[in-house]
Structure formats: structure tokens, C-alpha cells
Amino acid sequence: MKNDILKFPRNIVEPVRIFLEKEIIKLKRTKSKCEYEVGGQAEHFDSQVKVKFMDKQIVQLRKALTMIKLGKYGICERCGKMIDTDRLAVKPDSTICIKCELEREA
């Protein structure tokens, strides 16, 4: 079944690639600000949590960019089926379909 997968045309994927790259730049800037915040113990812990969350987001964005480069954008990395376009519209860095996401969270 994996051979029956349609690929998104380059003119559709290119704006997504640009968006993802801009998001990485924004996250890196925000992360830098959080890393240099100075304050009380609670604020320091809060900043650490934010930095770790941003690190995970950056990794996910890079994964999606890699999928674009490989020509596999929009294909679930777990089951190999197409990711619903509505999901990609809301979360363009998705690399797994909603069914696999729900199974992973269960």
C-alpha cells in the first residue's frame, strides 16, 4: 500500500518548508531569551521547562523539514499512510497521522 501514496506537489510543500524554517528561527530566539532570564527559583524552573518544550518543538519542526527533503511530507512515519490534510493545515509539522498519535498517547 505504501507505493500507492500520493506526494504533495512542490508548489504546495515549498510554503510549508518556509513556514517551518521561520518557526525554528522564532523558537530559537525565544529560547535564547528564556535561557538568559534571571530571577527567583520558581522563575528559573519555569524557564527551564519552557526551554525543554521549545527544544522538543524544534526537533519536531526539523523532522517535518527532513520529511519534505526526502519527499515524504504528509506520510505518517509510523503506518506509512497519508496524514489528513486538515491535520497538516492545523499542525504542519505533523509527521504521524491522528490514528497513530492517539495510539501513542493511549
Each residue of 25-40: pLDDT tens digit?
Answer: 999 999 888 877 655 5
Average pLDDT over all residues of the chain: 87
CATH number reported for the structural domain that contains residue 43 in this entry: 1.20.120.910
Pick the more confident residue, 53 or 8: 53
Q: Note the pLDDT of residue 5.
A: 58
Backbone torsion region of residue 16, taken as left when φ is above 0, otherwise alpha when ψ lies between -120 and 50, otherwise beta: alpha
Is residue 2 a part of any domain in this protein? no
* Domain total of the chain: 1
Domain that holds residue 67: 8-105
Lowest mean pLDDT among 40-54, 57-71, 90-104: 40-54
Residue whose C-alpha cell reads 518543538 in the numeric block: 57
In a domain, 91, yes or no: yes
